[in-house]
Every structure is written in structure tokens, then in C-alpha cells.
A and B are shown apart, each in its own frame.
Chain A
Amino acid sequence: MTVKSYVENILQPKLQGDGGWVEFVSLEGDKLTLVFRGECSKCLILHRCVSWIEEQIRLELKINVKVDAIRRRPYFQDV
């Protein structure tokens, strides 16, 4: 399974269950760029979730990545 597929099919439904949203942007070297929307975009402890994502990818796909988390807040929360 590719990292993109793992993010979109395995991680995404889990984050959605908490009102969150993650989108794969790119994987360049070990830099995995993800966009976080929904509740993730304003989560005060998103860094913990990002660490968990890195850990899951390491465990499941045997790949070490460093996530670059981009928050896309809705306009009404972009303060």
C-alpha cells in the first residue's frame, strides 16, 4: 500500500470519525505533507496526532516519514 493510499483509506476515516479531515499532498523523500481540515485544523493538540500518524506509517508501511502538517482552517475560524 502506498503512503497516499494509507492516508486516504486507512487514516482518513478515523480522523473523520472525530470531525477531522486529512488530505495527502506529497511525499518527497521522508517529508510527508498533509493538509488538515475540519476539526483537525484548529485542534490544539494536533502535534500528538501527527506523531501517531508517523508511528502508524512506520509500523504499518515500514517507512519513516516526517509529517509536515498544514492546517486549512475554515474562514470563520481563521483568526
Chain B
Amino acid sequence: MAHIKVVRRSMRPEEWTDLRFGWLKRHIYSSKWEIENLEIRDARQTAEMEFEYYSESYRPLKKGDMYFTPDGTAFIKADVALPDDLKGKELWFCLKTAAEICVKVNGKYIGGVDPNRERMLLSPYIDENEVLHFDMMGYNRSKPDDERNPESLSVRGCRQIFEGAYICTVNHAVQDLVWDFELLLDIAKSELFNEDYRAFLNRELNNAMNLINFDEDELSGIEQAKKYIDEVIYANDTYKGSGDVALIAHSHLDVAYYWRRIHAVQKNLRTVLIQLRLMDKYPDFKYTHTQPYVYETLEKYYPEVFAELKEKVAAGQFEPVGAMYVEPDCNVPSAESLIRQCLYGQKSYERMFGKRVNNAWLPDVFGNSWILPQILRKSGVDYFVSNKMSTWNDTNRFPHNNFIWKGIDGSEVYASVPPTHFITWNMPSQIQENWEAYIDKDTGGQTLNMFGYGDGGSGCTEEMIEMMHRFDKLSVMPKCEHVGGAEFLEKNLKGNKNLAVWDGELYLEMHRGTFTTKSDLKKINRRLEYKFRAAEMVSLMRNEDNREEITEAYKKLLINQFHDILPGSHIHPVYNDAMDDYREIEAVLDRIIGSGKKYFNTLNFRRKSLTFIPNKNGTSVRYGEKGNWLIPDMPSLSSSALRSTAYKGEWIKAGDTVETPYYSVKFNADGSIASLYDKELCREWVKGDFNKLKLYSDTPGNYDAWDILPNYKDKQISYEVAEPLCFAGADGECAEFICTLKTEKSTWQRIIRLFRRSRGIEVENNVDWNEKHVLAKAEFTPDVLTRKVLCDTSAGYIERESHRNTSWQQARFECCHHKWCDMSEFGGGIAVINDGKYGVGIDEGAMSLSLLRATIRPDVVSDMGIHSFCYMILPHGGDPISAGVNEIATEYNVPLIKCDAEWTLPHFEPLYLQAAKKSEDGTMTVIRLSEQKGTRGKIQLDRKVKMLNMLEEAECETDVIEYKPFEIITIGL
């Protein structure tokens, strides 16, 4: 017998309830009085608080008019005399918009509207007998695929239709009932709740709706429906839920992303303002807000709102969280940058609010370096919060939510990786989902559930708080507690002996492309990090107080390390802004460093690597600049004049096999190396593709700038060898071989350098890059038997397994490294040292340096154009540590500077002198030392020094520095 599926075509009772729920919402406003004399002036923001106006004067703005322009700011105003019949009532201002608008009345900011909210309370902030002068400033950021309010998708865009502005009165009985239905319908529709309870809800909500008479203009039966819900639904405790959920109000604010940093000033204003007004209405409402930088913009440009915020901070309602200056990327910035994020962040909070915070609040960052726990602990931070690993991992379920995170040096912080997204709207189903996903139910205490719209700010709504006030009426819900961020962490994690320990990096199994996208930003960021080091040292040596200038420039660098700027996941104007900032920073640093007759070695170890020194009379060229290759042989922290050697002997033989003092090399036409025989170590280094440029089709989908997918090797893009590798000449130190590779759209010149007195083989790449969806890598398959790759973290190294037995190993096919990566077996190995690349592919017996990408979202022309970068292949004997790979890589990245000053302080070898600066308060010299080899020892000093934390506070005095593996030590002199 044929089976015919029964399809119900008639309306279900639940649909009937939904339909009437829509009707009910139409009655929220008991009266609406349209403001008809609005005027608008269009403009475009050009800098923080600076605007280019499109007209001299305002024009009328009427309902149905178009308003906003691409990247536009709209100033809207009206003088309103309240009609007598509105006086004495509780009045609201209502403006439905897909834009983001801050509203000021008679000089006071009363609130904000955006796609997530359409009204604000007016009465408490006005004198109803005065003419009300409305001043609005609106921003139209049309990022259309955000999660804030999918319903607004259809009207989001650069040009909107003005739907009118109104002064309204609210029917609170209807509004309350709407919130009840909102809450209960969410449960009724969610499969996460008990099926029988949902059937009960559907039945009883229908019954409640039946009490309302929708046939008249004025609704009746509202009170009866409310009473029915109280007495029948809320009173029912037959169905028991479980769980214990901490609800933390938060709004994620990207400093730049689909908008420029200059727009974040007003995004932050709007967000803060909305939360302040919610606090006025709901005294129990607490809200957490990150990033000292955005507080500073509020303080600078909106002091009256900042003063209110300070009051709420003092009252404990508004909670600054997150010790870092912004929410930075936590893969690419160096250890010193991450320290400065904490230092400047904590100092800013201290100055603004008289207190620091004890947590790092980084919900959206793309994985976290293993060096972070130590930096946090030494910056007064005991707790760490970051969401992505639980919600965004593409392969493995991260096994903890509340746990202890152990860092590379053994430092521990309490960590929370909440089970669900950091943007939610406090619906019961979202809370239930959080509880069900929570892994550490037995050991971790409460689970952390953030609520509030975000990405571009916005935050919580009345509805979210009203939902929260109803949760304890529902036996089916988990137990919920509205708490602050620090309160949650201290209550659940502090001293919790049951917490599991995660020892390792917090690798995010997604967004692996962000180590490579927008490669210019990464390269310049690296250069500037080291230039800051030099500028601070030179200031010390010359006894110049450049603190103010350096701090200002440093903060600019830190802002550009924000997790959607440095990783490359932003629109094109954000890239332009970052490059402008970098130019400004570099000009400041160059001015501070100045010049001199001699060269100064800023490293606290002898420079003995072959180094390129620019010289207009030089016999070599590197990065298009003339100069000489020479071995400075300069002692630690010393200066000297440098002279190039004029070696005239024959040291290289170019033929099918190239002979140098170190190697016999066979090249392929494309610059890859077919054979690299090591004359010193009597061994071959090449097993497969080696220094082979590979282009792959790179189509990760919607997260284009963010992701490289596991199958990226599926489709290789071919290129032609336009000019086969040929010998281009040699001087007494360096021989160059050049080839040119071409695709239809791009040209890639490779200059390969072999040296008389260096084991390194340098590859300079000059690329005219015009691809789409292509990932370029340099691949190395050495004849080395190893199952691990060592990667520099900037403060020590991390060992990563290169085999692919488990899903965890498989997921780490592309990782972040800093100056070098290395594959070694007992007796020797191959290191690849770079001058600004961060992505490294790890695949069984091979590693690959990620060079360039060509993504189109969010930036259509990301990475297009001219690129020049170098890397150096370094075959070595022994292990990479004893072979000095880290020192060589540091020399490769830290140029000698022209400076005649002298270093008069101790040298602190064998620790790496990471920074030397004037303390923030100007009272002492701060020295930061980093153990980078994994060793332990003591340094006897000739004087007593203060042992400091990273906030430059003395903890004790000593004349012996005892150091442990990978420890970062700060001392004061």
C-alpha cells in the first residue's frame, strides 16, 4: 500500500498564537506623536570628530524621505514644543532605524537607537515646559550579515527610508505581556526544553491569548491574560530544569572591522550610553565593558557621558574588564607588545577609575599564544576569558570551559572559555544551550553566558533585562544569576581545586589564514616592534625623556594590533588607516633614534652573523638598496665603525652544481633546490620539494580573509618559469642567483643568495601580486627524520607535532610562529628564518612558510600589489637551540642602528634583553629580560636591583637574578 505523507495545511494552534502575538505588539504604544519639523545635514566622517559636510545648511527630513549616504554621518535636529496633552505623562522618544543614532536633548545625551532598539525614555531627562532641542548624530554602518538582528537585513544599506520620529507613551501592561510571550514562545519553540512542557506552553499560551479581545481598537483582556500566565504558567513547577548559569552583560566592540577606527568612537558612545540608561531604569543591571582605549575616547570626546560612566563604575554597576589596552590579536604580536597591552591598559584604568582589573577579557580573539599566562600573571591578571575555541573550533571540541591554563614557563591563570557565543540576546533557549554545552558541570561551578548585541557595540536591551527578571519564575530554566565579570571569575574559579589544567597554546581550529592575510601589516608591525625597542634603548643611553612621545606612538601600534586589524580581517579603509598610522609611528621612532657616526649593536650578545649594511657605495643590493654584506663581530651592546672586507679570492663556482665553502647546491630553474650537500656536516639536506614556491587555490568561503581550509592543497595553481634561475654575480661575500616566475596575472622574482661566510641561504622575493583566491607558500621537505617542528613564539619556542595521528594534530596544519621554525633530528636540521611572516604549514616531514594570500572579503583588493620580503634557510648541526637559531633569527630581524651613545648598564647575558626603558613614572630604568632557550640559571650582578612585575612595581631587591625556562623577568635600576 502506498504511503501518503500527511501534510497539515490548516493553521496550527501555535501559528494562531504567533499571529496574535504580532497583533499584540502593535499595541505597545498607547500614543504616538510625530515630530514633523526634523531637519537633516549629511556629512562624512574624515577623522575622529571631524566631518566633511555635504551642504552648508540643514534640509527638512520627512517620513518617507531617503536618508544616509554611503559611509555617511547624518546630523538630525528639531526644536519641539510638547503638546499640552503629552505633558505630565511618561514620554518616550521613538525612532525605528537600521542605522546607529545617538540622541541628545537640550544638551544631555538621553540614549541611542540602532537595529536592536527603537526607543528611549525621555521624561526623566527633560523639562517638559521647555522647548526640546533634539540633536542626533547617526552613523550608517551597513555590514549586512551581522548577527545582531537578522530581521533588519532587508533594510540595511547605505540609503534608508526615514520611518519617522515620535514622542510616545507606552502601554506598560501590553509591553509586559509582550515580554512574557516573548520569553515563553522562545521556550515553546526550542527543542532544548522538555517536550511535554512545550506542549503545555503551547496549549496555555493559546488559552492566554484567547482572553484578549483583538476585535476592538482598544484591546481588552490584557490583565486577564497576564493573570492567566502568572497563575497557570509561571505557577507551574512540575517540569524541573537543571543547571547554574551566570549571566554577564557585555557588548563586543570591534575597534575596526567593517568600519574604521574613527567610527568606533561613536559606536562606543552609543553602546555606553544605552547601558547607562538601562542602569538608570534597572538598578540591578550590571554591565561589563572592555578596552581602556575606548574608554579614553569617551573621556576625550564625550566628557559628560564619561563622568556618568565613572559614577556607575564607582557604584559597581558599570564594570571595566579586560586589562589589555585593546582586545589584540594574541598570535602575531610579540611578547613585549602583549606586555605593553597590559601595562598601558592597566595604567589607563588606574588613572581613569583608580583601580586595575584582574582579568583579560578577549572573547573574539583567534587563538592565544602559549606565552600569555606568564604575561598576564605578571601584569596583575589572574583570570582569562576567551570564547572562540569552544564555539568556533572546526575539528575538535575544546575539552574545558572553566579550567586552569598553564603557560610556556609554567605560569598558571584561571581560564574561562564559555561554551557559547559572546553575542546572545538572553533568550531561554540560548541559556539552556549554554548549560547543555557546558563541559565542566561537575567541577567548574557556574557556566559563563554573555548576553548583549555586539561586534559593532550596541549591548543589552530592555527586553534582555526583562527576560532575566522572569527566569526565576520558570522551573524549567536553569538557575540563573546576573553577575559581573570579575564576580563570576572569583566565585567559580578562584581556589577551585577541581579545575582541569590545559598546558599548551590555546590554538583556534579556524581563522588560520589570519597569520598571513594583509602581509604588509605583519611585516611592518614586526619592524616597528623592534624599532620601539631601539628607540627606548637610545632614549635611555642619551638620557632623553621621550616617554610621552613613545607612549603615544606605542598606543597607536597597540590599537593596530586589534584582532580585526593586524590579522587582516577588515575593509580596505581600515588597511589604509593602519598604514598611515605605521608611517606616523615610524617617523616618530626614526626621529628619536636619530643617527650617529658609529653603528650600535642593540643586542646583548655578540653579533657574529653576516649582515647587510646599507651603503651607497656598496657592491651588493638588497631590497633595492646598495650595501655590503659583512660580519659586524660586535660585542654585546657596543658601538663601532664597520668596514666591509674586500675579499678578492674565488669562493664560489657557479655551474650545474654550485660550489660554496659550505655547500654543493643543485638548483632547479624555478629557484627550488634539488640538492643541498653540506660540506661541513657531510650530509644531504634535501629529500623532496625544497624552497619550492607553491601556489594553491585558496577558497575558504565566507570567512575568506580568516580561514585556510585543511584541504588547501587539493588544487595547485601552475606558474611558468619566465626567466630560469641564473647566476647574477657575486662580490667577496655574496653570490646571487635570480629567476622570474609568472602566472597570468602575477610576476614573482626570486633572488637566492649564497654566502662565503654564512651557512644561511637567503631568498629575497619581489612580487607583483594580482591573484584572486591564491595562497603562496615556500615548501621545504628536508631529509630529516623528525616528528616535531619547533616554532619561535617571540619569548621561547613551542614544539608542535608534525605527524597526523590524531584529530588534534591534523587540525594544526597551519600554525603561528614568529621569527623562525625548525625541523631537526639528532645532529642537525633546517631552520627557516623570516622577516615578517607568521603562518607555517606543518605536514608530516615537511614545513611551509606561508607567504601571500589573495582574499576578497572583507577587502576586495587585500594583498594586491607589490611585495618584497626575505627569508633565510639555515641548515645547521646539532639542535636549533645549541646551533643558535634564535640568536641568528634575532640578528636577522634587529638591524644595527647608527648611534654614538654608550651602554653603561649590565648586559644580562645569557638572557635576551627584550626591552630597556624609562619606567612609566620616570623614577627608574626598567630592563626586561627573556629566557628563550628553555634553560635555568643565575646571573650575579654588581649591584642590587629591584625585581618588578610587568606593571613596573617593585616586589623585592636582589643582586642575583635566578631565571627559569622561558621566564620573562623585569627589573628596575
Stretch at the interface among B22-30, B139-147, B911-919: B139-147
Count A-B pairs with CB separation below 8 Å.
95
Q: Does B71 contact A (CB under 8 A)?
A: yes
Shortest C-beta distance, A9 to chain B (Å), equals 14
B860, A14: Cβ atoms closer than 8 Å: no
Interface residues of B in 143-192 (CB under 8 A from A): 143-144, 153-160
Say yes or no: A77-B702 contact (C-beta < 8 A), given A39-B142, A39-B143, A45-B159.
Answer: yes
> Quick one: which of A14, A16, A43, A48 contacts B571, CB cutoff 8 A?
A16
Q: Does B934 contact A (CB under 8 A)?
A: no
> Quick one: which of B66, B144, B260, B701 contacts A17, CB cutoff 8 A?
B260
Roughly how many angstroms separate A44 CA and B141 CA in the complex, as a whole number? Answer: 14
B857, A38: Cβ atoms closer than 8 Å: yes
Interface residues of A in 28-71 (CB under 8 A from B): 37-39, 42-46, 48-49, 51-52
Q: Does B704 contact A (CB under 8 A)?
A: yes
Interface residues of B in 252-299 (CB under 8 A from A): 258-260
B39-77 near A? 1/0 per residue, CB < 8 Å? 000001000000000000000000000100111100000
Point out the residues of chain B lying under 8 angstroms from A51, CB to CB. Answer: 159
A74, B158: Cβ atoms closer than 8 Å: no
A45, B155: Cβ atoms closer than 8 Å: yes
Point out the residues of chain A lying under 8 angstroms from B66, CB to CB. Answer: 48, 52
Interface residues of A in 3-37 (CB under 8 A from B): 11, 13-21, 37
Say yes or no: A21-B860 contact (C-beta < 8 A), given A13-B573, A46-B157.
Answer: yes
Roughly how many angstroms separate A52 CA and B70 CA in the complex, as a whole number? Answer: 9
Shortest C-beta distance, A21 to chain B (Å), equals 5
Point out the residues of chain B lying under 8 angstroms from A43, CB to CB. Answer: 142, 144, 157-158
Point out the residues of chain B lying under 8 angstroms from A17, CB to CB. Answer: 44, 70-71, 259-260, 571, 573
Shortest C-beta distance, B815 to chain A (Å), equals 25
> Quick one: which of B141, B159, B259, B860 contacts A48, CB cutoff 8 A?
B159
Point out the residues of chain A lying under 8 angstroms from B688, CB to CB. Answer: none
A14, B72: Cβ atoms closer than 8 Å: yes
B857, A20: Cβ atoms closer than 8 Å: no
A20, B70: Cβ atoms closer than 8 Å: yes
Q: Which residue, of A11, A38, A77, has the highest number of chain B Cβ atoms within 10 A? A: A38
A74, B857: Cβ atoms closer than 8 Å: yes
Roughly how many angstroms separate A18 CA and B72 CA in the complex, as a whole number? Answer: 9
Shortest C-beta distance, A47 to chain B (Å), equals 9
B interface residues, tally (CB under 8 Å): 35
Roughly how many angstroms separate A2 CA and B664 CA in the complex, as a whole number? Answer: 60
Point out the residues of chain B lying under 8 angstroms from A52, CB to CB. Answer: 66, 69-70, 158-159
B153, A44: Cβ atoms closer than 8 Å: yes
Q: Does B539 contact A (CB under 8 A)?
A: no
Point out the residues of chain A lying under 8 angstroms from B946, CB to CB. Answer: none
Closest to B258 in A: A19
> Quick one: which of A16, A39, A44, A46 contacts B573, CB cutoff 8 A?
A16
Roughly how many angstroms separate A75 CA and B857 CA in the complex, as a whole number? Answer: 11
Roughly how many angstroms separate A55 CA and B292 CA in the complex, as a whole number? Answer: 43
Q: Does B858 contact A (CB under 8 A)?
A: yes
A14, B71: Cβ atoms closer than 8 Å: yes
Shortest C-beta distance, A41 to chain B (Å), equals 9
B71, A16: Cβ atoms closer than 8 Å: yes
Chain B contact residues: over half helix, strand or loop, or mixed?
A: loop
Roughly how many angstroms separate A11 CA and B70 CA in the complex, as a whole number? Answer: 8
Point out the residues of chain B lying under 8 angstroms from A44, CB to CB. Answer: 144, 153-154, 156-157
B154, A18: Cβ atoms closer than 8 Å: no
Roughly how many angstroms separate A73 CA and B155 CA in the complex, as a whole number? Answer: 19
Closest to A48 in B: B159
Closest to A72 in B: B860
Point out the residues of chain B lying under 8 angstroms from A37, CB to CB. Answer: 856, 860
B856, A48: Cβ atoms closer than 8 Å: no
Interface residues of B in 119-141 (CB under 8 A from A): 140-141
Q: Does B765 contact A (CB under 8 A)?
A: no
Point out the residues of chain B lying under 8 angstroms from A21, CB to CB. Answer: 572, 860
Point out the residues of chain A lying under 8 angstroms from B116, CB to CB. Answer: none
B572, A16: Cβ atoms closer than 8 Å: yes
Q: Does B346 contact A (CB under 8 A)?
A: no
Roughly how many angstroms separate A14 CA and B600 CA in the complex, as a whole number? Answer: 47
Shortest C-beta distance, B264 to chain A (Å), equals 13
Q: Does B602 contact A (CB under 8 A)?
A: no
Point out the residues of chain A lying under 8 angstroms from B44, CB to CB. Answer: 14, 17
Point out the residues of chain A lying under 8 angstroms from B516, CB to CB. Answer: none
Shortest C-beta distance, A76 to chain B (Å), equals 4
Point out the residues of chain B lying under 8 angstroms from A13, CB to CB. Answer: 71, 573
Roughly how many angstroms separate A16 CA and B862 CA in the complex, as a whole number? Answer: 13
A42, B144: Cβ atoms closer than 8 Å: yes
> Quick one: which of B140, B153, B773, B860 contacts A18, CB cutoff 8 A?
B140
Q: Does B699 contact A (CB under 8 A)?
A: yes
Shortest C-beta distance, A55 to chain B (Å), equals 9
Q: Which residue, of A21, A46, A51, has the highest number of chain B Cβ atoms within 10 A? A: A21
Say yes or no: A49-B70 contact (C-beta < 8 A), given A18-B142, A39-B144, A42-B144.
Answer: yes
Point out the residues of chain B lying under 8 angstroms from A20, CB to CB. Answer: 70, 142, 158
> Quick one: which of A15, A46, A75 contacts B699, CB cutoff 8 A?
A75
B158, A49: Cβ atoms closer than 8 Å: yes
Closest to A18 in B: B142
A15, B856: Cβ atoms closer than 8 Å: no
Roughly how many angstroms separate A16 CA and B859 CA in the complex, as a whole number? Answer: 9
B860, A49: Cβ atoms closer than 8 Å: no
Roughly how many angstroms separate A38 CA and B704 CA in the complex, as a whole number? Answer: 12
> Quick one: which of A11, A38, A46, A76 contacts B858, CB cutoff 8 A?
A38
Interface residues of B in 851-901 (CB under 8 A from A): 856-860
Closest to A45 in B: B157
B159, A38: Cβ atoms closer than 8 Å: no
Shortest C-beta distance, B955 to chain A (Å), equals 48
Roughly how many angstroms separate A39 CA and B573 CA in the complex, as a whole number? Answer: 14
Closest to A38 in B: B860
Roughly how many angstroms separate A51 CA and B158 CA in the complex, as a whole number? Answer: 12
Point out the residues of chain B lying under 8 angstroms from A14, CB to CB. Answer: 44, 69-72
Q: Which residue, of B70, B72, B260, B856, has the highest number of chain A Cβ atoms within 10 A? A: B70
A18, B71: Cβ atoms closer than 8 Å: yes
A19, B143: Cβ atoms closer than 8 Å: yes
Point out the residues of chain A lying under 8 angstroms from B704, CB to CB. Answer: 74, 76
Closest to A47 in B: B159
Closest to B570 in A: A19
Say yes or no: A15-B70 contact (C-beta < 8 A), given A44-B144, A74-B856.
Answer: yes
Point out the residues of chain A lying under 8 angstroms from B160, CB to CB. Answer: 45, 48
B143, A76: Cβ atoms closer than 8 Å: no
A18, B141: Cβ atoms closer than 8 Å: yes
Shortest C-beta distance, A4 to chain B (Å), equals 18
Q: Which residue, of A13, A17, A44, has the highest number of chain B Cβ atoms within 10 A? A: A17
Roughly how many angstroms separate A30 CA and B160 CA in the complex, as a whole number? Answer: 26
Roughly how many angstroms separate A20 CA and B69 CA in the complex, as a whole number? Answer: 12
Shortest C-beta distance, B274 to chain A (Å), equals 22
Shortest C-beta distance, B666 to chain A (Å), equals 40
Shortest C-beta distance, B150 to chain A (Å), equals 12
Roughly how many angstroms separate A48 CA and B142 CA in the complex, as a whole number? Answer: 13
Point out the residues of chain A lying under 8 angstroms from B70, CB to CB. Answer: 11, 14-15, 17-18, 20, 49, 52
Point out the residues of chain A lying under 8 angstroms from B259, CB to CB. Answer: 17
Say yes or no: A76-B258 contact (C-beta < 8 A), given A17-B70, A19-B142.
Answer: no
Point out the residues of chain A lying under 8 angstroms from B155, CB to CB. Answer: 45
Shortest C-beta distance, A13 to chain B (Å), equals 7
Instruction: Write 16 A-B pairs (CB below 8 A) sorted by A numbering.
Output: A13-B71, A14-B70, A14-B71, A16-B71, A16-B571, A17-B44, A17-B259, A18-B158, A21-B860, A38-B571, A43-B157, A45-B156, A45-B157, A48-B157, A74-B856, A76-B699
The 6 A-B pairs of least Cβ separation, nearest first, read: A17-B71, A48-B159, A45-B157, A14-B70, A14-B71, A76-B701
Q: A18-B71, A18-B258 are in contact. List 15 more A-B contacts (CB 8 A).
A: A16-B71, A17-B259, A17-B260, A17-B573, A18-B142, A19-B258, A20-B70, A38-B571, A39-B142, A44-B157, A46-B157, A48-B66, A48-B159, A49-B159, A76-B699
Q: Which residues of A contact B (CB under 8 A)?
A: 11, 13-21, 37-39, 42-46, 48-49, 51-52, 74-77
